[in-house]
Each structure stands twice: as C-alpha cells, then as structure tokens.
C-alpha cells in the first residue's frame, strides 16, 4: 500500500489536491468503512489529500465517516494532519477572509460517534488540554509569518451538528460562552486524531459573519464563493508548512495522548 507521511483534510470549498506531483487515487478499507484519498508528492514529502465531504461535496457534516477517514490516514502511515474548515465568525474583528489557527473547541454536536474506544476497546478518556497539536499550531504560525500570510493565532471553534445554520439566538449564546467561530466538522475529527496519536491542526477560514450579524440570510453559496476567493492562501500555507516541518519534534505529546493507540 502506498504510504504518506502527511495529510491535508480539505473542508468545504477545498476539493482539489493541487500542488501534488505523481498523484494517485486510493481507497483504503478500515474496520469502520472505507475512505478515499489522493496521494502524491510535494517538495520531497509524501502527502495524502482527503476531501472531507467526498468528491463534489456529497456528504453532509453530520454523516461524514470521521472514524474511517482518520483511521485510513493512520493506516497509510500519516503522522501529521492539517485540516481546513469554512466557518462563520461571531467576532467583527474576524471578517470574511480571516484565517484562524484555532486552539480550542466547544462541542455542540448531538448524534455523532466521537471515539474509537468502545466495544472491545478499553475505556479511555483522552486528554483534550490541547485539542489541536501545539507544535503544529506554532509551526503554522511561523510559516504564515514567513509567507506573509495574516493569521489569527488562537480562537475557539464552536462545532454545531448542522446541517442547518444557526439561529441568531444560538449565535448570541455561543459568543457569550467564549466562541469565536462556528463550523460543523472539527468534532469529532480533532478528537479522533488525538485518540490515534496524530498531530492535527485546523486552520479555519472565515467565510461569513454568523446568522443575525449581517442583516442578510446566510447561504451555502456565499460560503463557497468566499472560500473560492481565498483557498490559494490555505494551500500556500499548508504546503509551505509541510515542506519545512520537522516530524521528529514530538514534545507535544500527541503521540501518546490516548495511551498506546498512537504508537
Ligand atoms: N455556521 C456554521 N458553519 C459554517 C458557517 C456558519 O455560519 N459558515 C461556514 N460554515
């Protein structure tokens, strides 16, 4: 089986593995179902690209097979994952186009499987002090500075069940609770990555002000249009980050966050 060292999970509006040389398509079987990705090379690194919502955005956020996706990446040898996420912003200081290296989440999902540790697996409570790998976040921040890409370092991602957008009352509540941006996918993706011992970080791209903040109804098209304008920045940031990443730096502790599963 072809192996990859790093992976990019592309969210809404990021469906193209661009910048990968010698790209080949793969379907990987896992105990949780199968997952598809493209594997190719960039700057001497082997990188897998996985569009989270499937090709053509056919899978809604609450029906994504997150366990198959993450397990498949682990199976092909991936150690570090960078994910994109389209988000609404609850802060006027983070307007459409802003990039946020999120560092915390609030979980408002409802019906998702959020763990590998059930059935015949031992009961395990994974540490979520750093839900996103702190080394990868630092590296993304340094890479962004080098590439002259403006990012906000840190932010709290509120994850909703979807697929509907939020009510203005929900947005007011989330903002009071300390949320900065709202999306529908970081849970359980970040949790499962940690359970598997993967270093994982998300860069959120603000595509809209949240419901009730702009005076206009919110549409999926608006989200897609804003992503299309800025996706090149995410691509530049991720590929530059992977070309300069030292994979042996493991002071983050992600590898063993859930005990032996990551080793
Ligand atoms: N809410 C939830 N998810 C989103 C939004 C939003 O406003 N924008 C992009 N993804």
* CATH assignment of the domain containing 245: 3.40.50.1580
Give buried/exposed letters for 109-133 (b at 16+ CB in 10 A, else e).
Answer: beebebbbbeeeeeeeebeeebbbb
**Closest ligand 1 atom to Cα of 166:** 1
What H or E segment, with its residue span, contains residue 84? strand 80-89
Give yes or no for residue 55 having a pLDDT over 80.
no
Residues with CB under 6 Å of ligand 1 are 86-88, 160, 165-166, 182-184, 207-208, 210, 218, 223
- Residue predicted with more confidence, 144 or 256: 144
Q: Return the closest-CA partner of residue 78 out of 114, 30, 39, 116.
A: 39
Query: Is 213 within a domain?
Result: yes
Query: Is 258 within a domain?
Result: no
> How many distinct structural domains can be found in the chain?
1
Using pLDDT thresholds of 50, 70 and 90, give the confidence band for residue 249.
confident
Q: Candidates 11, 14, 84, 87: which one to mutate for ligand 1, based on the most atoms within 8 Å of Cβ?
A: 87
Query: Is 262 within a domain?
Result: no
- Residue predicted with more confidence, 260 or 208: 208
Give yes or no for residue 261 having a pLDDT over 60.
no
Expressed in angstroms and rounded, the spacing between residue 161 Cα and the centre of ligand 1 is 11
* Segments forming the whole domain that contains residue 137: 6-250
Query: Is 103 within a domain?
Result: yes
Nearest CA to ligand 1 atom 6: 88
Report strand pairing: 6-10 vs 80-89. parallel
Query: Is 81 within a domain?
Result: yes
Give yes or no for residue 115 having a pLDDT over 80.
yes
What H or E segment, with its residue span, contains residue 38? strand 33-42
Query: Is 119 within a domain?
Result: yes
């Amino acid at each position: 089986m072809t192996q990859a060292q790093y992976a990019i999970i592309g969210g809404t509006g990021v469906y193209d593995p661009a910048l990968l040389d010698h790209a080949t398509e793969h379907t990987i079987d896992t105990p949780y179902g199968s997952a598809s990705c493209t594997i190719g090379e960039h700057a001497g690194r082997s990188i897998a690209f996985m569009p989270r919502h499937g090709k053509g955005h056919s899978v809604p956020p609450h029906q994504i097979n997150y366990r198959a996706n993450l397990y498949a990446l682990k199976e092909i040898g991936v150690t570090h994952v960078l994910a994109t996420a389209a988000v609404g912003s609850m802060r006027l200081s983070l307007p459409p186009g802003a990039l946020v290296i999120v560092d915390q989440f609030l979980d408002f999902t409802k019906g998702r499987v959020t763990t590998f540790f059930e059935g015949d697996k031992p009961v395990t409570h994974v540490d979520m002090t750093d839900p996103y790998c702190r080394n990868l976040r630092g590296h993304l921040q340094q890479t962004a500075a080098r590439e002259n890409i403006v990012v906000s370092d840190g932010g709290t991602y509120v994850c909703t069940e979807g697929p509907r957008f939020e009510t203005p009352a929900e947005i007011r509540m989330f903002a009071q609770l300390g949320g900065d941006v709202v999306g529908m996918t970081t849970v359980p993706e970040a949790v499962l990555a940690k359970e598997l011992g993967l270093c994982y970080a998300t860069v959120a791209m603000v595509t809209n002000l949240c419901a009730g903040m702009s005076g206009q109804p919110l549409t999926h098209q608006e989200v897609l249009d804003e992503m299309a304008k800025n996706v090149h920045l995410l691509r530049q940031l991720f590929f530059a980050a992977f070309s300069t990443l030292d994979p042996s730096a493991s002071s983050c502790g992600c590898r063993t966050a859930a005990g032996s599963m990551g080793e």
